[in-house]
Structure 1
């Protein structure tokens, strides 16, 4: 494993993007930092992490195919891989909360941000950013956040966790051509799948709907109260739970 360790950096995603733009790097090269000063999350949100307590890292993936139609499969593979790795540490009730949060016992412990780039030769590469709450114990003004240490009441070895996640990602990436298998697994892990749930739209109007799945481009498919199925993008709605 090619793992680059840094004490502090603005964003591991940005660092890896700049590195891959200036030199040829090994596939699955990983950059991890003890202190991420300007981490990014979904919807343009920041990812705040206590210095030295958690895992904040990014993984570089160069894809051999020039297939733009299945890019969301990287999100799926990453989510599945993290859950598989965490199961080895006996985390309970693990789920994927759309679009890319990992929950344990209904608490957010991990966030994922995948950034794809299409090169001039048509080849695609992805930077997979992951923030995993490991040994942090306090989350001020974040009632839905938790960590492995909080949930299991012990300190975890971050290096072992990192290697477990990278290995699980590599293993699942090899299955990327078996799209039906990966989608089925992803949907089996989807939080609130098939359960009536409250959502809120951009106008802050609350409504009840049932998650039917996620589309091939990552939109959430909801069955509304009038029984119609509608797809929503990341910025259009949020789940209230």
Structure 2
């Protein structure tokens, strides 16, 4: 596996998209930046991080055995890898807030962004971006942020955390390539934030309503039980969990 360590870059995902296309990459590539000037999350949200204190990296991985319809499984695999490492570091109450945030208690400690590389109408590769709060302890106007150091009181070497994450990520991707989709999905659903508990949601038309998270669909939509026990599917752009 090739690892490129950079001081400053706009976005590790964007950088990987450029170089993987230019080099017609076949091997796994990791790009780790000490500072991102345009790091982002799902739907274009910005990732706020202090230079050199957190882990911001992206992974390019060929996934020709996974179809376009199955690409959400890669996000589930990445979420579980982060969850495993945080639990290994004795972070308590680690949960996945659908679809791509990792929380401890109610505070966000990690965000994940996954982008597809399509060739000839087929899924060719995935670019997985991870922003993990490691040693930062203060944020401006971000009330529900936390970090590994905030939770443990311990300063960690970023390279050590990166190594742990990559090992777990490749473990779960190997499961996917072996067809262990149910194993991944069941584990992901077991760690969903607010699963099987009444929670308040906001729809695109600004309507608040109560529902119960039951799981996710094969394509990654949220399965929400509402009135009369009817279970509806929602995409990321259609609903927001209020907590």
TM-score by length of structure 2 reads 0.95
Separation in 1, partners of 2:8, 2:239: 34
Displacement of 1:90: 1.0
Aligned residues: 241
The answer to whether the Cα contact below 8 Å between 1:30 and 1:59 also exists between their aligned partners in 2 is yes
Residue equivalent to 1:116: 116
Contact persistence 1:66–1:122 (CA under 8 A): no
The DSSP-based 3-state class of the residue aligned with 2:228 is coil
Q: What's the CA shift for 1:202? A: 1.7
Whole-angstrom distance in 2 between the partners of 1:209 and 1:107: 21
Of 59-68 and 110-119, more deviation after overlay is shown by 59-68
Query: In structure 2, the residue corresponding to 1:175 is in which secondary structure?
Result: helix
- Root mean square deviation, CA, Å: 1.3
2:237 to 220, 235, 240: 235
Partner of 2:15: 15
The answer to which structure has the higher helix fraction is 2
In structure 2, runs of 5+ residues without a counterpart are none
Question: Structure 1 residues 223 and 217, CA, compared in 2 at 3 Å: closer, same or farther?
Answer: same
Query: What is the aligned partner in structure 2 of residue 164 from structure 1?
Result: 164
1:150-229 mapped onto 2 (5 Å cutoff): 150-176=150-176, 177-229=179-231
Name 1:50's counterpart in structure 2. Answer: 50
Determine helix, strand or coil for the equivalent of 2:167: helix
Change (3 A) 1:205 1:66: closer
- The answer to whether structure 1 residue 36 and structure 2 residue 36 are counterparts is yes
1:123 CA drift (Å):
4.9
CA deviations over 1:156-205 (Å, ceiling 9, x no partner): 11100001001101111111111111111111111111000011112222
Q: Which runs of 5+ in 1 are unaligned?
A: none
